[in-house]
Chain A
Amino acid sequence: MLGKLIKYEWKSVCQVGLILLGAIAMATLMGLLGFQAPMWNSMRSDSSFGAVTMNIVGVMALLFYVLLLVGAVYAIFIYIVVHFYRSMYTDEGYLLHTLPVTENQILVSKILVGSVWIVLIFLGVILSLLTFFCFLMSAVTGESIGEVLKEISGLKDLLQYLFSEDILDVGSCLSLVLNVVIGVPANLIVFFGAVSLGQLFSKHRVLMAILCYMGIAVVTGILQSVLQGIFYTGVFGSGSKGFLLGYLDFSMISSLILNVVLAVGCYLASYFINARKLNLG
């Protein structure tokens, strides 16, 4: 049954997800068209950027591009959380909660599909930014896209240097990757948990869900501050790494642990509320 739930969840999110990916593609195209503006030519011909005559259309296109990318990331999060609320706790929940499936299957299907779509949108944004960056470099330097790409591939040497000089290590990279891989579903589970906690109240359930999320965010913030305090007191004198890199490592590990603990707690809360406290109005 889990496979079937995933199939239908995918179908229901797919339309909005594809629209957002399409919007990112359109924004990228518009951003790239912005490079046709005369200001980029003047950037190359003038020796200083301050002397550039800013083209209002070009600037607006860039602004629109940035806003759309940020908007797309927020939009997919908001859509998935609202979709979760609607399909679980409004009239549409009558269908979902009378299916012969378990609460775990329902939650897992929603977390999996939601996470995949968020990652897809993130990937779309990264791809767009890379494309945009290449065209930006090409527009500013006057080099061809091929030459810009060659220069970017030179970053590999920089990474090798950073690893060889112990500025970066495998552990740091692993915790960064884990943060990204676990961070997306963990954040989604926290949102779902807050929506589910809101259902424990007899009135104003949406408002209560928002307040629950704010409460969770405040508690997480306090815990993070406490952990950082522990780091500050512990880091001086240890000195195997530089302060900044040590701080980044510690931040990543502490945020990873917090994310996991929070996600497990919120998942259990959602499960418990659906299994034992469900009260569809």
Chain B
Amino acid sequence: MVQVRLTGVSKKYGDVPAVEKLDLLVRDREFLTILGPSGGGKSTTLRLIAGLETPDEGDIHIDDLRINELPPRDRNMTMVFQNYALFPHMTAEANIAFPLVVKHTPKEEVEKRVKEVSSLLKISHLLKRKPKEMSGGEQQRVALGRAIVKKPNVFLMDEPLSNLDAALRTEMRMELKRLQKQLQTTLIYVTHDQTEALSMADRIAVIKDGKLLQIGSPEEIYNQPADAWIASFIGNPPMNLISCTLARNNDRTTLHAAEDCVLEIPKSLISKLTDLEIGAKLKLGVRPEDIEIGSKGATLFCEAEIYLLESTGDSTVIDFKMGDSIVKLKTKAGYKAKIGERAQLVFTGSKMLLFDAETGRAL
């Protein structure tokens, strides 16, 4: 059982807070991804767990052991870095063996483990090479080998795939996930790439400005973002956030998005709005794939002007100009339309989200 628990952890660099009052529970054998923008405190969180930084406040526990002051070498964690941080003067073999050698593991044991790990990672043919004689992907595998050889309690990875090219990155993603399931080891993975987080993680923790905004499964994060910022950070293209005001007319509750766009609120959302006053500022969140073009007599529609067309190969993204804001719509590839045309946008009501315009919290 390896559970990592952060309670009320804060860390400042000078006067700049990097992490503020962070509570985070990493479950046993879980693949947890810490997702957030650059400079948001993700890496600091990871370094705090690794022991490369000491928290100013709060506690870090592994299971029931408080490890605030435990030096990194005694934590039995390993870390994979973005630049791999292989020891340049050692061969791949020596790099992988290093964590065992410094613990005075018997020679036969070291050889056996290095052999196991290198066949697991398919790098047996690289063992005699030095880092500069290997490609980025190969170095990445050696770095992974060095991390898993000593059978740590926790793997820590700080953007390990960022330096790889796109094809290799996709391949390594799946391989990492498979490896983690095979080794049954807790893995904490830091990334700013939402695709990476969504495709690999068991759970995602979204951290911004040193604070934990939401933690949950990729589906939860994608479908029920707790916050307008998360909604706009995740998805490709991200969720549309349409500014609108609440209006009540007799017993109808409507949202005014732009001059010529009045949306009737679906029943599923009405209950969340009962406390709000008329004129309240809201943000309507709709994923680009939940908007359609056409008029099927739907109640939730707006008319808008086509502003831009982007083709991504497997789909077409159409930008509409609605009032002052741009609304993106994702449809199948090869959709024909002209810039400047007007079209009806139909919202698939069940997947609409509402956020408070001021606080950004989901309603």
The answer to whether A and B come from one shared complex is no
Seen from chain B, the residues whose Cβ lies within 8 Å of a Cβ on chain A are none
